Structures are given as C-alpha cells and as structure tokens.
Amino acid sequence: MPYVEASLPPRPRGAIRIATWNINSVRLRIGLLQRLATETDADVICLQETKATNDVFPADAIAAMGYPHQHFQGDKGYNGVAILSRLELDARGRRLWAGKEDSRHVEATLPGGIELHCVYVPAGGDVPDPARNDKFAHKLAFLDELAGDWGGVDRATRRILVGDLNVAPLENDVWSHRQLLDVVSHTPAETTRFDAILAAHGWVDAVRQLHPEPQRVYTWWSYRNRDWRGSDRGRRLDHVWLSKPLAARLASAWVLKGARDWPQGSDHVPVVVDIAQPRR
C-alpha cells in the first residue's frame, strides 16, 4: 500500500525527494511544516492554500528549516502556492488561469533542468452546474486551460506538476464512486477534463503508476467526519504528475496518511515521490 503513518523510508541513493501538501495556512501550521520536513527529509516541498500574502509569508522561518530557495505567490483569503527547496531554484514566475489573479500557480526550474509546477485548482463550490454556480464554472474553465497549449509543450521535457488539483479522477480515488458521481470533485464534467489534461501533455500519474487501481488511495478526509479513520470516506485530490522521461525514473510514491492526525492538521495529507537524478 502507498500509505505511511510516520517517517518515510530512506530515499534511494541519488534521488530527489519532492513533497506536495495543501497546508491550509502556512502561518498557522508552520510547526507542522517543520515536522513534514523532518519526517520526509524532502529536498523540495510544494504548498497550496498558504493563505499568506507575500509580505507576511514566513520566508525566514522556512529558510531556517533548511529551505532557503523559495518561490511563492499569495493573496488574501484561501489561495496561495509556494515552492520551498534545499536545491537552487530558477524561479519562472506564475501563470494566471481562467482570467483571475488568484495565486494558484508558480513554477521554477530545479537542477538537472527539471521544470516544476505547483498548482492549486479551484474547489468549485457545492453545486455541479456551471449555469447555477460560478465557482464550478470557474473550475471547469481552469481545467480546460490546463488541457490547452502551454506555449510549445515538448513531451521530452523533464516536467513535474504537483498540487491540490481538487479532482478525484478514478473510481477508487473516492470512497463511493456511485454516490459521488454528482458531488463536486468526482463528477464526469471534471474527470473527463482531468483525463484530457493527462493526455494532452503526456503526463503520468506518479501515485497510480506505482499503486494502480483497484487499490484505494485517498489524500483528503473531511473535517466534518471526526471518525475519519473509521469511516474512511476519503478522496484523492492531491497529485504528482511526471513527464514520461521522469516517470521512467520514478523510484517511489507515498501518501503520508499519518499527517491527518497531526494536532491542528490540514484536512489534506502530503504526497511524496522519489525521482532518480536525470542525466544532463
């Protein structure tokens, strides 16, 4: 199974370890970010829903954790993304999706020419009807743009996309495929677009490459469910995608399930991958 409850196994020799987590407020959970860094020994940590404008982002505290190379973008409210790295970063800015400046994307280049994208797809509200729900319409537009041309996509590029993509695409990515077909995050309108994004860019779903269906894999359990372990009504909303050259070097992929029990933890848990260093 892909789940681990505490510290991950040592990384394969020479591999780069990348973690992604919807932290649900980086300032509130700065101590848990330190715990994540300690328990995973990640070289790169990508965060979503940082809820911190750039002027209050805790850059110094994170640098003191061993991540001096940072690229982040934040707004007031519920958005914000960040790439935190022990390795040198060449920050490449951000992209604006679906006509909104809402801090849902940053990108950078890692050593070895690896292009890294940290993305936070809109949740989409509660009503899965774009005619009645502007938030759902925005989400669908965002997904459509992700499937579009990024400006000369080369499938040979060493590219990684990580983040809270707010879609559980497969039957065993949700606790009940039948009951969630009309629930935002698992509707056909979303999952078909998800498939289109993967196909358009030749992405490989890292977790499912190593842990294919019918294994049930979740990364999110609602705060409303106090007995989240007992009911296990989860969804896999957090993803790591690799271009095919990097997918061939994928060594391991893990979901840090135990983080859901951390004091004042997020409702999401981190996803961690190890990738063998590519040759130049």
Q: DSSP for 40-97?
A: H--SEEEEE-----GGG--HHHHHHTT--EEEEE--SSS--EEEEESS--EE-----B
Residues 6+ apart with CB under 8 A from 200: 147, 148, 153
Chain centroid to CA 264: 20
Domain boundaries, the chain: 3-276
Global pTM reads 0.96
Q: Is pLDDT of 149 > 80? A: no
Range of lowest pLDDT (4-8, 124-128, 176-180): 4-8
Q: What CA–CA distance (Å, rounded) separates 19 from 254? A: 9
Confidence of residue 1 (pLDDT cuts 50, 70, 90): confident
Specify the CATH superfamily of domain 3-276.
Endonuclease/exonuclease/phosphatase (3.60.10.10)
Inter-CA distances, 272 with 45, 54, 94, 231, Å? 9, 26, 23, 24
E strand or H helix at 19: strand 15-22
Confidence of residue 251 (pLDDT cuts 50, 70, 90): very high
Inter-CA distances, 75 with 63, 127, 173, 261, Å? 21, 25, 30, 28
Phi, psi at 22, each rounded to 5°: -80, 105
Q: What CA–CA distance (Å, rounded) separates 275 from 204? A: 13
Q: Is pLDDT of 151 > 60? A: no
Mean of the per-residue pLDDT values of the chain: 94
